[in-house]
Chain A
Amino acid sequence: MFGRLGSWASSKISSVVDKVVDVAKKITNKVIEKGSKCWNGFTGKTTFDKAEQLYQEITDRYDKKKREYDKASGQLIADIDSRVSSINSFKQDIYQVQFKRFVSLANRLHNVTVKGQPFEELFDDAILEAKTTASVEHRENLFLIDFNKFDLVRVASYVLTLGFYSRKKAKQTLLKVEEEEVRIDEEIAKMKSHQRQLNVVAKSIDGVVEYFDVLINNYSKLLDRFEYGIQSQRHKQMAQSDEIFAHKLDFRLIPIVHIEEFQALFNLSIVLKQMANLGYLSESGKLNSKDSSQAKALFEKVASIQAIAA
């Protein structure tokens, strides 16, 4: 009976003991928690933790943006590249197919030559790529103190300086990381800006492709029309003359409509030639624009006046 009582008592006691231990543990944890909070505030570790967190955040943010930017700009540059190669093939087509046809057709009326060669633009990524951006500074350059490395001397120094030293270092660290954050923001802004710029460039190159496509198409249609006209005139003039193969068609005898077609083709050839001789991304290849021809005219005028004066 006593045994039972004893075991009852002992179980009661042990549960009480457990409870006491439990409460004691809770209190100890609470004390440690509060104590460490106090200590961290005193040494500046709280500030340091904030700095660390912010550093991690900006590193992640930069890396993410950089990845996104690299991907997007890579895609844009690839797009532009493919546009440039189609422009190159248009240029080849203009000389190899369209001009050849025009010259052979036109030669039946009048001697025509086309000068120059198509300018093949060699695509260079460098003109589109941004200058390499400066990534987040190394941790060592920003962190003036490291609470993660435990060092007895250091802890002693915290206490001896009343925490002033470590608090100050922690604050300076946080400020430095905050400064780094705005610097990184500038880098990100530059990346975004460049991406938008590339996007616009790609659109404008798209437009150029369209110019080539549509104009070549029209040119070819006009050549068809001209060819048909020339053929019918040949039949006409053949009926009137014996030596049709020896002579060119006499432009004075053919209707003005065909002369106008010839004129349109001639002028359109000049336009296409200019387009084929131009570089669209690089500086090479110049347009004979109005300005330069006006300048040339002016120069000739001046030269003639000087000649008269002399």
Chain B
Amino acid sequence: MATKDEYAQPVLGTEQVLNELQDCSPLQVSKRLINMELHDRRDSLEVMAKIYDEFDQGGNVTVELVKPLLLNMCDGLLSIKKLGLKKRGITATRLVNEINSFDYFNSAETKKDQYLEKQRLDADTASHRDDKGSYTRNKKDAAADTPDNYMEDVGKKTNYTKAYFASQHDKQEKLTVYSELEINGMGERKQLRRNSKEYKARLEAKGLNGVERTYNADHNLPLKHLFDEYKGSKALSVGDLRDAAGSVDNFDIISQKLNKIKLDSSWTELKQKRDTLKAKPKLSSAEKQTLASLETHVNDATWNKALARETEARTAVEAHLNMKVATKLTSDSKLVKGAATDAGKKAKDELIDAGVGELVILVVKTVSFELKDMFQNGITHGTDCSSSLEAFSFRMKRALKYITTNLLNIGLGSFKDAAANFVKYLLNAIVDMFVGILKKALKVITEGFNAILASIKILMGESSPAEKADAITKLLATTVVTYIGFAFEESVLGFINKLPFGDVLSDAVMVMFTGIASTVVVWLLDKMDLFSVKDEKRAARVKEIFDMRILQIKENTDAFETAALQTLANNKLQFRQIADSMSMAIDDDKNVNGSVYAMADFMKIELEIKTTDDFMTLLGSQERLVVG
């Protein structure tokens, strides 16, 4: 960008104007005044057009897109785990940017590497999964050292059944049971029977299937399913899961037949199973049988009812579990302490890695700045040294001094990051203790932690609202792109792993993929300039330049006016004094020559006859007197 000087008005000072006016004859002052320029002759439209040109120039695809994309590729290669550079925060993009923007007066800011952060957070999340051993249904099967690790609370089931029958007052009803979920072809609840031997025998005598009509109390979310889904939380014991599984909302009376079909799957899973079987072109005989029994025993009305009940059951179970977690978090100090220790350890490990990385970058960027400067500008450039040797040692000393003074900054910066990381990991650990939808909602906070921190920083900054909006949009876009990249991780990596060297490349590919995607997205956002940041900047520049020019015009005019009026007043005073004394001399019959010479002198007119003697000599020479 051009400097402001290019648009500056010429400066006119009072002194300058005074000198210029005092140098000339009072007779010529008017002419001088007219010719003085109080501002340049540039048209304001021309100035405006020039500022516009300045802003239109940017638009170099190589610099804006090709270079960052190439750097993204390099980032990918550098991120191969074996090199160990990635975890230290050393990427090609960062190195190049740091080297290019290096100068001795600024300290560069570290940008978060979205991909690395996400990877670390995922690793953190994985480490929070609790190991509760294998699934055990019955109390008697529980391992000796963990007697409480079983899922079936028989008492609760019995209680539910008892409560169910207790609500049936009619005597007939006590014999007949209605399924809570199944609907028969007539749209009525399916009739079931209490489980008795004589009833079974009676049915069989009629050639009817006893199993089909016998009732069962079923867990909407099966015990195994529940165990698998929620066992990851460190705050919950198997006993807690058992309690939750025994929630009233998780029980429904259904036919034994249906229960046998359903087994350990939830209603949603069962429906998925049916849909996949239906969509499959070729079925094995076993599959055909399963589909057929599903179709006969579960009609659409039953599906609707069952799925709705499952949602209720899930809500109830998760509410129960999350309450439990909340209570434990507040009452069990060991739990939080453990999480904090873990988070602290992770933050510390990262601090060491990051610190080493920062140190490497600090040294590399300082030294390469010196090297680049030496090659580009010559070894003595900017060193005030005469000999090359002297300059070289000056440069090395300067670099060393910079590195030592900035070591502290790195330390501080890394510590700040470590503190933020600690908070992030602790939050993540706590969030991971929760289950279900609540956990997913809370996850947004930890996953977006860096984005949120960065957004707050942007919001607290001193840029204009549009610039803030622009910066946050770009930040969110890159965050989202990174997460989308992770969503496709499996399919992309699955493909890459089939290629030769796929296992080595797989590290690199994801980094390149997300890096390139976010570069392109940010570039597009920049091109679109949704918040007109560029126009805003240009307008600010226009304002700055014109304000400067206007101020100078005013200052010049002030200086001009002051000096000119002062000169005019002076001249007038002088003239009047001389003219008065001349007039008085004429009236009083005195010698006028003194005031005539004064007048000529005042008007800066040269008179050749300086004295009366000269004049007498001239008269005596008999030559013609010429007024010229």
Contacts and interface: CB of A to CB of B under 8 A. Distances in A.
Contacts of B535: 171-172, 175-176
A113 B624 contact: yes
B22 interface: no
A181 B535 CA distance: 15
Interface in A203-245: 203-205, 207-208, 210-211, 214-215, 217-218, 221-222, 225
- Among all A-B residue pairs, the 10 with the closest Cβ atoms: A182-B546, A264-B592, A175-B539, A193-B557, A115-B628, A293-B606, A263-B615, A179-B542, A114-B627, A112-B625
Interface stretch (B38-46, B316-324, B328-336, B496-504): B38-46
Contacts of A128: 34
Contacts of A251: 616, 619-620
A130 B571 CA distance: 27
A178 B575 contact: no
Nearest to A286: B28
B36 A106 contact: no
Interface string B588-609: 0101110011011001111101
Interface in A184-218: 185-187, 189-190, 192-194, 196-197, 200-201, 203-205, 207-208, 210-211, 214-215, 217-218
Nearest to B587: A221
A259 B625 contact: no
15 contacts: A106-B625, A114-B628, A115-B626, A182-B542, A182-B546, A183-B542, A193-B557, A204-B568, A208-B27, A211-B575, A260-B592, A263-B593, A269-B627, A275-B27, A278-B27
A200 B579 CA distance: 23
Counting chain A CB atoms within 10 Å of each CB, the highest count among B38, B48, B542, B627 belongs to B627
A266 B627 contact: yes
Given A112-B625, A182-B543, A215-B579, A222 B568 contact: no
A260 B591 contact: yes
Nearest to A204: B30
Contact of B28 (A183, A187, A260, A287): A287
Classify the secondary structure of B's interface with A: helix
Contacts of A275: 27, 603
Nearest to A103: B627
A260 B561 contact: no
B33 A204 contact: yes
Nearest to B529: A168
B210 interface: no
B230 interface: no
Nearest to A195: B557
Contacts of B627: 99, 112-115, 266, 269-270, 273
Interface of A: 99, 106, 109-116, 127-128, 131, 134, 164, 168, 171-172, 175-176, 178-179, 182-183, 185-187, 189-190, 192-194, 196-197, 200-201, 203-205, 207-208, 210-211, 214-215, 217-218, 221-222, 225, 251, 256-257, 259-264, 266-271, 273-275, 278-283, 287-290, 293-294
A196 B46 CA distance: 25
A71 B158 CA distance: 105
B34 to A, nearest CB: 6
A259 B538 CA distance: 77
Contacts of B308: none
